[in-house]
């Protein structure tokens, strides 16, 4: 076998698999989004974008991503730096921190619902401490900020670890000598973080951010569990169109809009964090 062809032959099965189970359904979805039974149309897109809930759910999705991702980035960087400095117990801590990763997002939403609902842990704890007289409903339409905060907390709790593991692996790849050089040439610990860790972590930051941002635009179950209809997001709208309004064309259109947003942000992140040619380790 021609050795230049071999890699292509080897990835052929996976490629076929992807084509069959991803590309083909994708084409079907696109077809559904752009047709009304008789031919090409943009009416599905017009319908969903002109609906009064669309701007709200778009705004909510972005707001949530904007609130959650930077916090997660900062938190995962901080945690990754701490874990890297540890000599003992580092694996144990990593396992504990990554437990939420193993829980489905709906389950995560339900866990946090159990904390915040009227008969939940938070209420009974605050009642027990005498901080409140009677249980309050934190997650009601009268306290939208509280709903948002609860969703934020749940999302941060659930999905920071995915960034953490990527960053821990990335930091582990940076040779120790660079830090020693930094130290000898007068960089303070903070400067070493800014001038050495961050730039050399760019490839990992790229991966972590892309993954996390895509997940943020797809947020659904956690929001559904905690906010219900109080906090509409794009993915929730897709669900509603498909299963409540039985409008497959509109659901497909929103799904494509989410895809377009994800791709745009992926490209922006890749571009912003790209490593110049020749500047790799």
Partner 1 sequence: MAVIEIKNVAKRFGEYQALHDINLTIADQEFMVLLGASGCGKSTLLRIICGLETATEGEIWIGGKRVDHLAPKDRGISMVFQNYAVFPHLTVFENIGFGLRMQKMSNDDVKRRVERTAGLMHIEQLLTRYSGELSGGQRQRVAVARALAMEPDVILMDEPLSNLDALLRMEMRAELKGVLAESNTTAIYVTHDQVEAMSMADRISVMHEGKIVQAASPIEVYRNPAAEFVAGFIGNPPMNFLEATPQGGGKFSVAGHSFDGPSAANSNLQFAIRPEDMTLAENGFPAVAKVVEPLGAHLLVTCELDGKLFRAILDSEMQVKPGETLKLAPVKDRIRWFDPETTLAVA
Interacting residue ranges for partner 1, rule: CB under 8 A: 175, 177-178, 180-187, 191, 195-196, 199-200, 202, 275-281
Output 58 or 171, the one with its CB closest to partner 1: 171
- Tell me which residue of 141, 144, 120 sits closest to 132, measured CA to CA: 120
Smallest distance from partner 1 to CB 22, Å = 35
Output 70 or 199, the one with its CB closest to partner 1: 199
Q: Angle 29-32-35 (CA atoms, 0-180°, nearest 5)?
A: 145
E-strand ranges in 95-242 read none
Output 37 or 186, the one with its CB closest to partner 1: 186
Q: Angle 77-218-147 (CA atoms, 0-180°, nearest 5)?
A: 80
The answer to whether residues 41 and 34 touch, using CB atoms and an 8 Å cutoff, is: yes
Question: Could you tell me which residues come within 8 angstroms of residue 67 by beta carbon, excluding any fewer than 6 positions away?
Answer: 148, 152
Smallest distance from partner 1 to CB 162, Å = 25
Output 10 or 184, the one with its CB closest to partner 1: 184
Smallest distance from partner 1 to CB 184, Å = 5
Output 145 or 281, the one with its CB closest to partner 1: 281
- State CA 264 to chain mean position distance: 15
Smallest distance from partner 1 to CB 195, Å = 8
> Tokens standing for 187?
């960089």
Output 201 or 226, the one with its CB closest to partner 1: 201
The DSSP letter of residue 136 is -
The answer to whether residues 171 and 80 touch, using CB atoms and an 8 Å cutoff, is: yes
Smallest distance from partner 1 to CB 263, Å = 27
Smallest distance from partner 1 to CB 187, Å = 5
């Amino acid at each position: 076998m021609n050795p230049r062809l071999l890699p292509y032959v080897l990835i052929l099965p996976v490629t076929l698999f992807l084509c069959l189970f991803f590309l083909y359904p994708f084409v079907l979805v696109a077809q559904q989004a752009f047709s009304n039974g008789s031919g090409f149309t943009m009416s599905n897109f017009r319908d969903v974008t002109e609906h009064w809930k669309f701007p709200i759910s778009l705004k909510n999705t972005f707001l949530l991503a904007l609130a959650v991702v930077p916090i997660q980035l900062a938190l995962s960087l901080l945690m990754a730096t701490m874990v890297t400095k540890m000599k003992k117990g580092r694996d144990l801590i990593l396992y504990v921190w990554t437990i939420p990763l193993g829980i489905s997002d709906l389950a995560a939403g339900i866990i946090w619902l159990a904390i915040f609902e009227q008969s939940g842990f938070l209420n009974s704890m605050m009642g027990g401490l005498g901080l409140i007289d009677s249980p309050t409903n934190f997650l009601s339409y009268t306290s939208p900020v509280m709903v948002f905060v609860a969703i934020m907390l749940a999302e941060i709790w659930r999905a920071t670890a995915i960034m953490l593991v990527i960053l821990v692996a990335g930091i582990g790849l940076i040779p120790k000598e660079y830090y020693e050089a930094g130290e000898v040439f007068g960089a303070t610990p903070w400067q070493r973080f800014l001038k050495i860790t961050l730039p050399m972590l760019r490839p990992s930051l790229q991966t972590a951010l892309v993954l996390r941002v895509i997940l943020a635009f797809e947020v659904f179950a956690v929001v559904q569990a905690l906010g219900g209809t109080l906090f509409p997001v794009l993915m929730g709208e897709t669900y509603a169109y498909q299963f409540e309004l039985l409008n497959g064309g509109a659901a497909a259109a929103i799904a494509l809009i989410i895809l377009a947003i994800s791709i745009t942000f992926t490209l922006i992140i890749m571009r912003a964090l790209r490593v110049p040619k020749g500047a790799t380790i």
